[in-house]
Structure 1
Amino acid sequence: MGSEYLDSVRKQFEYYKLLGEKTFNQLDEQDLFWQYNEESNSIAITVNHLRGNMRSRWTDILTSDGEKEWRNRDREFESVIQSKQELLEKWEDGWKCLFDAMDSIREDDFETIVYIRNQEHSIMDAFNRQLAHYAYHIGQIVYIGRMIKGQEWKSLSIPRGKSAEFNAAKFAKGTNRQ
């Protein structure tokens, strides 16, 4: 059961990682630092927060609380990333920490209680909590990218007004499952 769950949740994490990357690929460097107003987060700030969260949550997940003493969460919401290259490096670093942690989980670890901010979680609950958190922020990244690009935005799924065309192609290929 545990390995099937890990395979399933990994696919979901990989999907959201890909959505972020497809967004970055559509944007110019300066777009990554755009903020709607002083109180909103840029894509770069959001990536910085995701990385900090991932490193804190997944470092030593089985043996220490997911909220590490060394984490400076408030700093994650400051404009510290200076370039697209640095953004991509921090993005990859955070995801590597997550995927390395996933690779370290064994079937018998599913009986282990892990802690996030002193709250008990099963392994599945901890992964589900973080999947929801990352999907939330990656949705923000995609939305900001879409706002910036406007009509130049290339849809990451079925483009608006193209559902009928998509379904016709799907049914023509015989891939409709009841």
Structure 2
Amino acid sequence: MTTNYLKSVKGQFAYYKGLGDATFDQLADDQLFEKYHEESNSIAIIVMHMSGNMMSRFTDFLTTDGEKRWRNRDAEFDTRLLARTTLLENWEKGWNCLFHALDSLKDSDLNREVFIRNEAHSVMEAINRQLAHYPYHIGQIVFIGKMLCNNKWRSLSIPKGRSDAYNANLFSKPKSGTK
């Protein structure tokens, strides 16, 4: 069952990363830095926060506290103009760190104790904590992207008004393995 857990969480993280990737693909470089107002976050700020969080949480995941001394969380929320390539390199760096850590886990690790800000968690709890945190921010990225694209937005799920066509297609095909 735990092997299924690891496979499932890797799939969930990959799915949410894909939503972010698909959003970036629809945006011009300058849109990554747009803010609704001074106190809001741009997509770039959210990306830098997520990358910093992933690097901190998943570097030496089993052996060091998930809040690293070298992390400067407040700086992640500073408005910076980066090249799109630099921003996306940070995005990939964070995700690669996360997936590397997950790939290194064995079923027997899931009940081990790890710490985040000196608070004990089982490995499974620590992963679940991030599986709640990252989709929250991916939702923000998608929402901001959708607002910026307006009527040029390409849906990342079932487009509005297309549920009937989707359901007709879904229910008309036999499920794999059935005759």
Q: TM-score range by the shorter chain?
A: over 0.9
Q: Are the equivalent residues in 2 in contact too, given 1:65–1:116 (CA < 8 A)?
A: yes
Matched residue SS, 2:115: strand
Q: Tell me how far apart the structure 2 counterparts of residues 26 and 161 of structure 1 sit (CA, whole Å).
A: 21
After the TM superposition, which parts of structure 1 deviate over 3 Å for at least 4 consecutive aligned residues? none
Amino acid at match of 2:86: E
Corresponding residue of 1:58: 58
Matched residue SS, 1:65: coil
Q: Deviation at 1:174?
A: 2.9
Q: Tell me how far apart the structure 2 counterparts of residues 108 and 6 of structure 1 sit (CA, whole Å).
A: 11
What aligned pairs does 1:82-93 form with structure 2 within 5 A after superposition? 82-93=82-93
Q: Tell me how far apart the structure 1 counterparts of residues 141 and 162 of structure 2 sit (CA, whole Å).
A: 23
Corresponding residue of 2:143: 143
TM-score, with structure 2 as normaliser: 0.95
Unaligned runs of 5+ residues in structure 2 are none
Corresponding residue of 2:70: 70
Amino acid at match of 1:33: F
Q: Are the equivalent residues in 2 in contact too, given 1:81–1:87 (CA < 8 A)?
A: no
Q: Deviation at 1:81?
A: 4.8
Matched residue SS, 1:121: strand
Q: Tell me how far apart the structure 1 counterparts of residues 105 and 72 of structure 2 sit (CA, whole Å).
A: 26
Q: Tell me how far apart the structure 1 counterparts of residues 169 and 46 of structure 2 sit (CA, whole Å).
A: 37
Q: Deviation at 1:118?
A: 1.1
Corresponding residue of 2:35: 35
Matched residue SS, 1:115: strand
Q: Tell me how far apart the structure 2 counterparts of residues 140 and 107 of structure 1 sit (CA, whole Å).
A: 32
What aligned pairs does 1:26-175 form with structure 2 within 5 A after superposition? 26-175=26-175
Task: Note the alpha carbon deviations across 1:113-154, whole angstroms, 9 max, x for none.
Answer: 001111111111111100110000000000000000111100
Q: Name the % identity.
A: 57
Matched residue SS, 2:110: helix
Q: Deviation at 1:175?
A: 4.1
Task: Note the alpha carbon deviations across 1:57-114, whole angstroms, 9 max, x for none.
Answer: 0011111110111110000001235111111100000000000101111222123100
TM-score, with structure 1 as normaliser: 0.95
Task: Note the alpha carbon deviations across 1:10-60, whole angstroms, 9 max, x for none.
Answer: 000000000000000001111100000010000000000000000000011
Matched residue SS, 2:46: helix
Q: Tell me how far apart the structure 1 counterparts of residues 77 and 163 of structure 2 sit (CA, whole Å).
A: 38
Deviates more, 1:100-109 or 1:7-16: 100-109
Unaligned runs of 5+ residues in structure 1 are none
Q: Tell me how far apart the structure 2 counterparts of residues 40 and 76 of structure 1 sit (CA, whole Å).
A: 13
